[in-house]
Structure 1
Amino acid sequence: MKHFYKIYERSKKYFKLTLGAALLAVSPGVNAQVSAYAFTQSTGTYTPIIGTVLDAATGNTSATNLNSNVYPLSLPCNFNFNGTSYNSLNVSTNGFITFGTIAPGTIVTTPISGSAAYDGAISVFGKDLSSVFDIGGSTGDISWEVTGTAPNREVVIQWENFRPNSSTSTTTAYTFSFQIRLKETSDIIEMVYNSGGYLVGSSTVSGTAQVGLRGATNVDFNTRLNATTLEFINSTSGTANNSTQAFNTNNTTPGMPAAGLTYTWTPPTCYVPSGLTGTATSNDATISWTASSSAPVGYDIYYSTSNTPPTSSTVPSNPNVPGTSASIGPLAPYTAYYVWVRSNCGAGNTSIWSPQPIQIITQCQPPAILTTNGATFCSAQTATLSATSDPGTTITWYDSATGGNVVGTGPAFTTPPLTNTTPYYVTASTGSRVMTGFTNAVSSSGYTLDAGLLFDVYSPLTIEGVYVYPMGTGAGTVEIALQDGNVSPAVTLQTITVNLTGSGAPHVKTYVPLNFTVVPGNNYKLMMVTRSGDVTGLIRESGSGWGSYPFTAPGLLSITAGNLSGNSPSTSYYYFYDWKVSNICESPRSIVTATLDSNCLSTSEIEMKDQMKIYPNPFKDIITITDIEKVSSIQIVDISGRMIKKINNVSREIDLGDLKSGLYILNLIMKDGSITNVKAIKK
């Protein structure tokens, strides 16, 4: 049975304090700093406390022996953990405490490697534990106490007479005790152990426990490690968030903690900045971040095409940068760079580098439009525009500065008939767009999460989009991620969340725009990582009847296998259909203008003198046109080229009294297909 206990009543004043702590903790863990805590080990004295008991064992069943319980605790003084001040925490019977408004689940046994959303954890012996009741005269409890005086108080949380495992046995019981000590002002953390022994029996208990610190996520960790061949008391620095310390209640190696064994974790004085972001052009990038709480004198930036993290001795690429943004470069086009930043607090005191870099991918180096030539035209006529570009490129014409439609290709473009000055836009590009992957689903079964495809990339490209078949009963969202499958767990490089509509069979093939830019590399993963709403899954192929890998776009990429577990390939499953892949590198759009030429109107007036007459001009209301039988329709255009009136039923006398005073152009559309333009002035 699992329990979550409330051990105190919250007053209105307490609620205000708790709310304040929560607000302070909104974005603390982004600083990801526990990896910078300094570790030391010593042998001291285990001093038991006689304080406030949070809970005690009342029996030897799983419901009564302090198995899987969590207790919220309000602190009498603030404690700064990982750069954030807290006045409350949660205590787990499973050998750890956590910070933040989100408490751990009662069954959490991996407080450091777990993905629970608390702000941070301190784990003195993190695993599934329980206590004893009246065995050999001993009963277990969890208690806490404040020692010392402000501003040098200590908050002590104590696990007394706990087994190193979860058990209800009354014939074998080994117990030991341990504490977490939180020091006011210095914010130093101590873990202090007492030796243990058998209350009854002698059966060996062995296993592993997570010991160390975790930040806001399990990416930020500081752990201890010893295998079964190394004594518990001789642990080394952990190498992963799931590093553990092995123990054995009978064998000397690895043994159990010795009496007075003390682990001390000292926080840094210079904190790393958070919120690192970046945007890139083809040859440089702008990097920005959120200021460190340490108020450093500046920041150091390091960037590389390798994702090998810098060390404390690595020379920064950009040292001691003021402010919270900087430009880096020059950079190579269409290349992935990894960027780290650290605080420089002066006098050689620096923070650690960002625990996780950001990846920026510079844009391609596009070809250039070399020359452009606009053209003039008479109203209702076409214009021919032209452009030249670098050799071997494709010239494309658009009707808008961004987005819009492709209206032509090639060095010359003839517009449709125009009545006013009109801008067009031209680009030069290289590359092409191709489709690859399995085309259409033949399966009717699907999957839910954490599955996708493995693929290799041979040259820089953009995955513009893929097709999926959503399953479900209505609207929902799906998050699709591009990941690096060369590391475990895979690192997410880019993500997008899209709105989809799930349905039953026949499922609807739906396009999902991705626009993931990818540089050459192996073992990329395209994965569905989350979903919500009424989308229950996506269709996938299984077995061998659907086809086989690889699916290749020559020179661009190869889809090599499915992926179900870890980074392991699977040839039985297929996900994501009809990939749209592009390596098009396009220049910015250059404006080319088709300009209305008002001078050609006078020529039309001269040419029509012998054909027909329009009078009076200037006119007041009525205008008369001779030889009206030659005219099919009339367009009235103002001086800006905007058509404001069209007359289809023409007559010799035309009433234009509704026009405002000014100059107008009458486009006479003749029955033989020609167009005559006349200027007329309304009084």
Structure 2
Amino acid sequence: MNSNLLSQSNTTTTPAQSFLKYLTIAAFLILGVSGMGQVSSYGVTQTTATFAGLPAGRVNLFATSGNVENNVASNVALPFTFQFNGICYNSINVSMNGFATFGTSPALTEVTPISSAVNYSGVISAYGADWDQVPGSALVNVSYFTANAAPNRIFKIQWNLYRSSSAAGPAGALDSTTEAFQVWLYEGTNVVEMYYNTFNPSSTTTTFGQIGLRGSTNLDYKNLDYSAVANWPGNAAPAPIGTMPLGTSNTASVVLRNNTAQIVTTAAPNGSNKLFRFTPSLSCYPPTALAITGGSITSSGASATWTAPCSVPANGYTYEIRTSGAAGSGAGGLAQSGTSAASPLNMTGLSGGTTYTLYIRSDCGGTFSAWSSGVTFTTICNAANIPYTGMYFDPPGPDGFTIPSLPACTSQQNVGTGNLWVTDATNEEGWFDEHLMYNADGSNAANVWFFTKGINLVAGNTYRLSYDYGGSTNISTLTNKMLVAYGTSPAAASMTTQLADHPNIKVSPANNVVNFTATATGTFYFGFKAYSAANQGRLFLDNIEVVNSICKRPTALSVSSVSYNSASANWTSASPAPGSGYAYYVVPVSTLSPIAATAM
């Protein structure tokens, strides 16, 4: 802990409060509410201290003249990154009413920030109550100051204000003197301290305010509860000996009594406790925002990124890749484990077509954070080789499935607002077994791709794609449409090579065969896009296969012995040679249309 922290302390340790504290922490660990920690697990000490006002050079947040009865300074820049409840912050919102928030800026009239239903990211409340500048001045103000040099800076906020009577103008002050109190935020340790000056109110009115911390909801808090008709407790009379109890509800408050000394000092540093220290229970925080990098998933791995905690762990991170079981649960379901110095993590050596969950935690050198929430991904299936005849939609084959799910290793992408492809086994329109089906949306046109698993192709080879398709024929006006293409990934944007288009499907079933030559070597995916208009019945697809073509294109075509009415054509025969020879066309350049066709 920073050497500027005061050492004398009295800790609140009643058995009931200790039980509640440990019960809260246990529930957090069992249920895994948050890997980031909870405000309720912060430690609290209460100690006597000598109060010192902020020195010259402090910055006032509000007007130095006139009456200011409610105000908020939003997004006050912090001189260093401060970690509160496991989250990093570089600014803070300061309310005139004795508290500060992270995230959402409070309403001008907010006076109960710990119990408030507003979704602040966090609250530090030194004395949440109604305070006023009536009138304001350079001294009667809310101000801040940064002490020390990096890496031991302390950001201090001071309130020196009047208790409010809710009346307007100077009459709004309950007392003839102000009360001063401060919040200190420590760089590095992320400790929060609250300091209080002695206070001897002149008013006969008793007020209550909230002292403590709050997380992102009012169910996560650590506060103090003191309503005794007595001075604030401390270590010497006239203060009662001891400490304030911890609050057991988010509405707990601390009293400032009527015209009796409330925060007392005998001889410094004796008297009432005037320093409340809130210490984070965690010193090693997990990374956040763990995610799989888009487009990185392959058949053997993927890449993951995350956001480092404010205090970057000294030894980087450890990770587990699992097919089952919770992080840290042992060998069962553990596929890989290892370390990473920083984000990103490139995962390799995984099995294709397998679902994994990645977990990661910080290694702070001797201590570890909690495991992050896992991120799940499924590796792409290993590519199939030619011939590929697996897409016959007949479970329980190699691409088995359960209706209406798609076969394993296939996928789809809906780039419109219509329905999805599903598997079906209804006997209709000439289909008598399992097949793929698109059922029209009554209002939205189809715009959905179905993708096969990856298939290995070799550049220069000619392949034969065949498939059966059809559409509803019970009403003559129904027209279905389907486009066929292939590309290097199962995504609409990758379907760059069109193989066929069926813009007027009115029969069922039908068959189509496409011969094509691969222009590159690699793994390719075949896509079938339903693009029928809305309310056009059903579109069917089945029996997809890709094999080596048995009718390949000849190569090395050349022409010789050219005369005014004849020429000789030569080429290299395909292998295997076509059983019925070749057909040729003579096309005049001027018309680009065939004028003769003869079989050879």
TM-score normalised to structure 2 length: 0.47
